[in-house]
Structure 1
Amino acid sequence: MNSGGSTSAALPDGRAARAVALVSRVCVRRRFAVIGAWVVLVLALVTAARVVGTPTDNDVSLPGTDAQLVRDLTASPGAPLTSGTVILVAEDGRLDDEVRSGALAEAAASLREAVHVTAVKPPSTRDGSLSEDGRTGWFTVGLDVRRAELTGDVARAVVDAARPAADAGLRVLPGGAFAQAVDGSGSTGDEYFGLLLAAVILFLALGGVVGAVLPLLTSALSVLATLEVVGLAGNLTSMPAVAATLALMVGLGVGIDYSLFLLSRFRALTRSGLAPPEAIERAAADSGTAVVVAGVTVALALAGLVLTDVPLLRTLAWTCGIAVLFAVLAALTLLPALTSLAGRRLARGGTLHGRLTRRVGSGGRWARQADRVTRRPWLAGGSALVLLALLAAPATDLRLGQLDAGSSPTSTAVRQADDAVSAAFGPGAGTPLTVLGRLSTPVVDAGDPRPSRLVAAVRAQPGVASVGPATPSADGRVVTVALIPSTSGGDPATADLVHRLRALAVPGVTVHVGGGAAARADLADRITDKLPLVIGVVLLLSVAVLLLAFRAPLLALKAALMDLISIGAAYGVLTAVFTRGWGATWIGLSGPTPIPSFVPLMLFALLFGLSMDYEVFLLSDVRRRFRRTGDTVRSVREGLVGTGGVITAAAAIMVGVFLAFVPHDDPTIKMFGVGMAVAIVVDATVVRCLLVPATMAVLGDLTWWTPGRRRARAAEPIG
């Protein structure tokens, strides 16, 4: 038996395996052309991205919602393409006193001369940009570039132009769009630690430098292609910064894992006596086919997010889908070409690798584990369910909220700006709301009572800190009222205020509410409405793929159920860390942090697909052995032994990659990193080592039951 080399996918329909084998054969014969094509493709994409640019835009639209309606109706054709703020804070005195008024005038003149600046509005009590004590205020600065084109260098240049204010002893901070641009991607560079960990694990798993380099090189080229395509797409559509980071996480994780499974199979086949070209073709037919099934499963899970009708989730879905697509293509084309160059050098492992291989053989740790589980499946399965229930228990307290600048680490520019503004103006100053009244008939004169009634009704609501005057539109059919809530944008009370305002009954006025907090509330409502549909479709699509692959309904349903259990455990840990704040300071947060409404749904799609990877590889190996022996329990034991080492290594790599993103400044990225790492750990240990083999041992031959068809047994050697 070949430990670590039996992750083949013996699908009932051999056409897929033959097609994948044919692709690998062509790539081996034309290896230099294939390698050259990948290098040219990546270089072309990198060059295009540098020439055209890779803009990002965190401004999320949500067509068909109340907040989007307000935004569309209040849009001004003559407004700057982008606006941001330059915040000024005085330690004592007022910004508008005689001592500092000259410095502010000089700063305003300097700002007007800065690159891309089209308008500058100084702090004033009239528009609420100067605090009552006069110690804090901001310049509102308009630019002639789109928000997606606002770079950190441009933002810093604008803020630096306010140096006369800093020379006068004032604290100068970027705010709004400028602060977001200064923070950039929020990356801390710790992603490289994940790559280093992956290199070490690959060295141990594949026994040498060549074995470690090939998966990393293959994954690096596929990820580079992914990031440049995603970046270029930002010129055609709104591309949030989180999209590229999430695609990087997924691309690195699956890219390295897919390469590891293929190379492990190749090395086992070469050690059994096959020449490298034949071993590559056989490995592609076996593990390569499983890679295709796993990749398709991830893609279909992500495709389910299209049903939410939320542009943000659609964007995150197709960007992550591109990462998976490139990972599969690289594993099936580039990796065989590179492997053919390495040849038998890849089959030779070092002394340490040989010792590790022997430990997971027929008499090693995995054999003992498999024997324990299959001999007492009810005990093993019950214990696993109890442990998973404990992990998932906190998820009953899962509360979705809204992130705002106050949720970011204190080292970020957006958090420092929010702290300064909140301290001077109140916690809701950073997330103002706009109440829009649509009138049944236009306002004719100043004596029309409807605008004043709207203002009075808004002011009477609890949770309102201040209300501005009603401002009619040019045609008199719409009036707008600026409102500052008494709570921050991330506080659930602000979302409650939005819903109360929308329910106001003012004679002759239809009330709508917009603003950042209102848009996030609309996003949460839409996702909640679509959640059952998305989960149902993802489950059906994934089960359909497994049915096509294994032709066994109970096996497909069991696999889907196992994935749901892993996701439940991930939700539990996510709730404990972020909602309850357990260990939040360890990952760079100041305390409990709201979980945005789209995170659990996006995690569901990602985790359902990624967790299915290991299920596919394990079940493929077990089925291949069952077709040879006809003994389910024996096949489960041998399958767990055969896949134990390589799946553990693959899971360790993916967990390391995901955890490397936890130090990221963006709390959303932290959530994805923690949630995905926990799910993979649970799936690769408790679910794979206990629950899956125990369930299959209990079901016995029913595992392979197919309606209307007798159980087939094919004599198939295990290579």
Structure 2
Amino acid sequence: MSMRAARWSATHPWRAILGWLALVVVAVGLAATIPSHEADDADYRLGESGLADRWIHEAGLASPDSEQVLVTADSGALDQQEAETAAAELARSAGSLDGVTGVSAPQWNPDRTALLISIQLAKDHDDPDPLVAAVADVRDAHPDLDVQQAGDLTLDEAIDERVADDLSSAELISLPITLVLMLLAFGALTAAGLPVLLAATSVIATIGISAPLSYLFPAEPTVTSMIVLIGMAVGVDYSLFYLKREREERAKGRTTRDAVAIAAQTSGHSILVSGGAVIAAMAGLFVMTDVTFNSLATGSIVVVAVAVLGSITVLPALLAKLGRWVDRPRVPFAWRIARRLRERSGAQPGSNRLSRGLLRPVLRHPVVALLLGGAVVAALAVPALGMKTHASNLDTLPGDIAEVQTTKAIAAAFPSEGPVAEVVVRAPASEQENVADQLEELGRTAADTGMFREPTAPVEASEDGRTSVIELAMPFSESSEKVDEALELLRDDLVPDTVDASGADVAVGGWAAESLDFQQKVSDRLPLIIGFVLVLTFLMMVSAFKSVPIAAISTLLNLASVAVAFGLMTVVFQHGVGESLLDFSSPGFVIDWIPLFVLVVLVGLSMDYHVFVVSRIREHVERGLPARLAVQRGVSETAGVITSAAAVMVSVFAIFATLSMLEMKMMGVGLSAAILLDATLVRLVILPAALVLLGERAWWPRRPRRPRGEQVVETDPGFVLAGH
């Protein structure tokens, strides 16, 4: 397929180029004419907590959003009279605003150092700006007071802005870094720009195509940024593999068209296999049946598919049209570096001195290399056995967000009752009084266990009398393991033993219950996702290489890389190693959705260069080279391109570790460190050692094709192969 597509593109370059431009233009038109359908709150409901939330909203019992204003002294002691005057002014100005349904009486904290005003908002009101302006006016009128606002709308808006800023920053930084890396790899602007251009147009096309797809899979707010980052990583890598092979063949004296054809037959095939592996891994996210993962999976799959399409069509067309002009204009400093690297690699394949030096002890002592490499991987992966996961909370948010600081200050001055569980009962209206009595009894029974507080609010019922709700607060912090124990006790024992009204259905919801349901869903689905991803990639590798051992080795190496990523995230973020270096405070756990996302992304992206290395080794095996020499040459020849490809991925994801959101730091550390280790220790030590030990058995059941009537006389200068 890649060969036919490349041959057609190379012989009809203008048609291929114009076809690609048409695809991008049509995609941009789709984005301009079809607004994306973004996920709403209802799309995130899951499990029992989602059912409880739906019942509450259908019954009209959902609490409206509210904003809190905290008044403290700007410095020194608080002037209580001035604080009350400021509160009265705020009540008058806020009370007259559209969307404000009520302003509570000012509430003093026990030592009267802080005053709190709560402002209730109308349902479906989502514009906090007028209220923010009113609070700012009061702040300006009382310079001796510190008047700060935080609440449902402003805190969410501040978090969304920070996430958008972080991802935009990552996008802006990744582009010049990628271009610099390409310049160092090729030394010429055209050659360096082609991978970046192809990746960028793939991303643009995907964003357009994603607009209509969002009506099947509602779009997450961050999916566009994920498309950009993953699209740039794979798009650049695929072009890099293709362009490097084309240049290598031209350096041997072949014509441009022949070089493009050989690159299509070799690197093009590797790109198809690699792209399929990435798509298979990303498809595992659909097993979660969660709106967030569905959106991320859809965007990632489409951008990888588009990048593969561009790599086997428009890229050969551009190379055929440019010919040797692809190496112009040269950037003097970068060209000298690239030329030195080429000189070190030598004119003959397999003569890369640096990689040969690294491989020599591995290939001479494969058992020792395999044991030592496995020991390092095991040591890095062991901490993952103690990994704890939890939903993000106030402690995982950046402390420099003003609304986060205010929310923490409010919690310190006015300690809340703790996480709250909402017990929702739907029953015939005739059972309303009976249900209310049973829920009140439930409140008393729950308090007697010590896991809940005495209810402070009465049972609330809907107008039709069919839905009743009681709130039960827990005397624990949000991150405490006791919260999950309390919820399980409530669901498994207390509710079934207490609520038994005729025709009643019961669900326990609330924020803490949502977190528990999500963690349980991840825990239940994670083995299925791991099995799905590994089995599918295993079958793809069997299909591509016709080798069961190669597919098995690939699967085991993927597992090793994932285990290392999990271990590193546990050490850094759960145990706090490197807090000062990465500028964060350890919450004592890993945020619950991160391991699953890192799993599929890492399995997919690490297959890029794995397929490229194995494909080159197979080329030499099929030419008749002995197994050990084939491994040495295959790894050595691809060392430069693998280094460049891994550098792109590591640099892109390492940017995440510098961002302020803890989720982004976790993802950045896990992916960048694991890819770095995967491209070095795993692919340069463990993989060659395993293949040497297996010998020709590595390609079972398909035996290597030996050229008939041809005797292998190639030797490797300076490299002694025992037994050959």
TM-score by length of 1: 0.87
Task: Give the direction of change, closer, same or farther, for the CA distance of 1:36–1:186 in structure 2 (3 Å limit).
Answer: closer
Question: Paired residue for 1:267?
Answer: 247
Question: Paired residue for 2:366?
Answer: 377
Question: Paired residue for 1:163?
Answer: 136
Question: Paired residue for 1:546?
Answer: 541
Which stretch shifts more, 166-175 or 625-634?
Answer: 166-175
1:240 is paired with a residue whose SS is coil
**How far is 1:109 from its partner?**
3.4
1:483 is paired with a residue whose SS is strand
**How far is 1:619 from its partner?**
0.4
Question: Paired residue for 2:101?
Answer: 120
- Distance in 2 between the 1:538 and 1:659 partners? 25
Within 5 Å, give how 1:351-390 maps onto structure 2.
351-361=336-346, 362=351, 364-390=353-379
Task: Give the direction of change, closer, same or farther, for the CA distance of 1:584–1:462 in structure 2 (3 Å limit).
Answer: farther
Question: Paired residue for 1:435?
Answer: 423
Which stretch shifts more, 691-700 or 433-442?
Answer: 433-442
**How far is 1:714 from its partner?**
4.2
- Distance in 2 between the 1:642 and 1:655 partners? 21
- Distance in 2 between the 1:330 and 1:82 partners? 49
Question: Paired residue for 1:4?
Answer: none
Question: Paired residue for 1:212?
Answer: 192
- Distance in 2 between the 1:239 and 1:259 partners? 28
**How far is 1:76 from its partner?**
4.5
On the 8 A contact 2:435/2:499 being kept in 1, the answer is no
Aligned residues, how many?
682
On the 8 A contact 2:223/2:299 being kept in 1, the answer is yes
Question: Paired residue for 2:155?
Answer: 179
Question: Paired residue for 1:252?
Answer: 232
Which stretch shifts more, 479-488 or 639-648?
Answer: 479-488
Match for 2:441 among 453, 471, 481?
A: 453
Question: Paired residue for 2:323?
Answer: 343
- Distance in 2 between the 1:157 and 1:224 partners? 36
Task: Give the direction of change, closer, same or farther, for the CA distance of 1:82–1:22 in structure 2 (3 Å limit).
Answer: farther
**How far is 1:198 from its partner?**
1.7
Amino acid at match of 2:423: V
On the 8 A contact 1:658/1:674 being kept in 2, the answer is yes
1:85 is paired with a residue whose SS is strand
Which stretch shifts more, 79-88 or 508-517?
Answer: 79-88
TM-score by length of 2: 0.86
Question: Paired residue for 1:6?
Answer: none
- Distance in 1 between the 2:390 and 2:428 partners? 35
Amino acid at match of 1:111: L
Which stretch shifts more, 581-590 or 378-387?
Answer: 581-590
2:165 is paired with a residue whose SS is coil
On the 8 A contact 1:301/1:609 being kept in 2, the answer is yes
**How far is 1:570 from its partner?**
0.8
1:650 is paired with a residue whose SS is helix
**How far is 1:281 from its partner?**
3.4
**How far is 1:680 from its partner?**
0.7
1:508 lines up with 2:500 in the alignment: yes
- Distance in 2 between the 1:321 and 1:522 partners? 27
**How far is 1:319 from its partner?**
2.1
2:424 is paired with a residue whose SS is strand
Task: Give the direction of change, closer, same or farther, for the CA distance of 1:516–1:702 in structure 2 (3 Å limit).
Answer: same
**How far is 1:164 from its partner?**
4.0
On the 8 A contact 1:428/1:489 being kept in 2, the answer is no
- Distance in 1 between the 2:27 and 2:194 partners? 17
Question: Paired residue for 2:721?
Answer: none
Question: Paired residue for 2:532?
Answer: 537
**How far is 1:597 from its partner?**
2.8
Task: Give the direction of change, closer, same or farther, for the CA distance of 1:549–1:447 in structure 2 (3 Å limit).
Answer: closer
What whole-Å deviation, never above 9, does each CA across 1:149-188 have from its counterpart, x for those lacking one? x6xxx54454224334433445232422332223323433
Which stretch shifts more, 691-700 or 169-178?
Answer: 169-178
On the 8 A contact 1:663/1:670 being kept in 2, the answer is yes
Identity of matched residues, %: 28
1:75 lines up with 2:61 in the alignment: no
Within 5 Å, give how 1:61-72 maps onto structure 2.
61-63=44-46, 65-72=47-54
Question: Paired residue for 1:712?
Answer: 705
- Distance in 1 between the 2:289 and 2:352 partners? 53
Question: Paired residue for 1:618?
Answer: 613
Within 5 Å, give how 1:82-121 maps onto structure 2.
83=65, 85-91=67-73, 92=78, 99-112=85-98, 117=99, 119-121=100-102
On the 8 A contact 1:408/1:666 being kept in 2, the answer is yes
**How far is 1:537 from its partner?**
1.9
Task: Give the direction of change, closer, same or farther, for the CA distance of 1:685–1:157 in structure 2 (3 Å limit).
Answer: farther
On the 8 A contact 1:360/1:367 being kept in 2, the answer is no
2:643 is paired with a residue whose SS is helix
Question: Paired residue for 1:566?
Answer: 561
- Distance in 2 between the 1:659 and 1:95 partners? 52
Question: Paired residue for 1:222?
Answer: 202
Within 5 Å, give how 1:257-656 maps onto structure 2.
257-347=237-327, 350-361=335-346, 362=351, 364-413=353-402, 415-426=404-415, 432-438=420-426, 442-443=430-431, 445=433, 449-464=437-452, 467=455, 468-503=457-492, 504=494, 505-508=497-500, 512-656=507-651
Match for 1:690 among 661, 685, 688?
A: 685
Task: Give the direction of change, closer, same or farther, for the CA distance of 1:482–1:409 in structure 2 (3 Å limit).
Answer: same
On the 8 A contact 1:60/1:312 being kept in 2, the answer is no
Question: Paired residue for 1:34?
Answer: 19
Amino acid at match of 2:422: T
- Distance in 2 between the 1:428 and 1:220 partners? 50
- Distance in 2 between the 1:81 and 1:324 partners? 42
- Distance in 1 between the 2:655 and 2:435 partners? 62
On the 8 A contact 1:223/1:248 being kept in 2, the answer is yes
What whole-Å deviation, never above 9, does each CA across 1:315-357 have from its counterpart, x for those lacking one? 2222221221222223223333443443212247723211111
Question: Paired residue for 1:193?
Answer: 173
- Distance in 2 between the 1:94 and 1:320 partners? 56
1:357 is paired with a residue whose SS is helix
- The unaligned stretches of length 5 or more in structure 2 are 715-724
**How far is 1:294 from its partner?**
0.6
Task: Give the direction of change, closer, same or farther, for the CA distance of 1:554–1:141 in structure 2 (3 Å limit).
Answer: same
On the 8 A contact 2:164/2:222 being kept in 1, the answer is no
- Distance in 2 between the 1:585 and 1:137 partners? 37
1:355 is paired with a residue whose SS is helix
What whole-Å deviation, never above 9, does each CA across 1:183-208 have from its counterpart, x for those lacking one? 32343314433322222221111121
2:623 is paired with a residue whose SS is helix
- Distance in 2 between the 1:546 and 1:663 partners? 35
**How far is 1:232 from its partner?**
6.5
**How far is 1:239 from its partner?**
3.1
1:162 is paired with a residue whose SS is helix
On the 8 A contact 2:541/2:551 being kept in 1, the answer is yes
**How far is 1:511 from its partner?**
5.0
Which stretch shifts more, 494-503 or 73-82?
Answer: 73-82
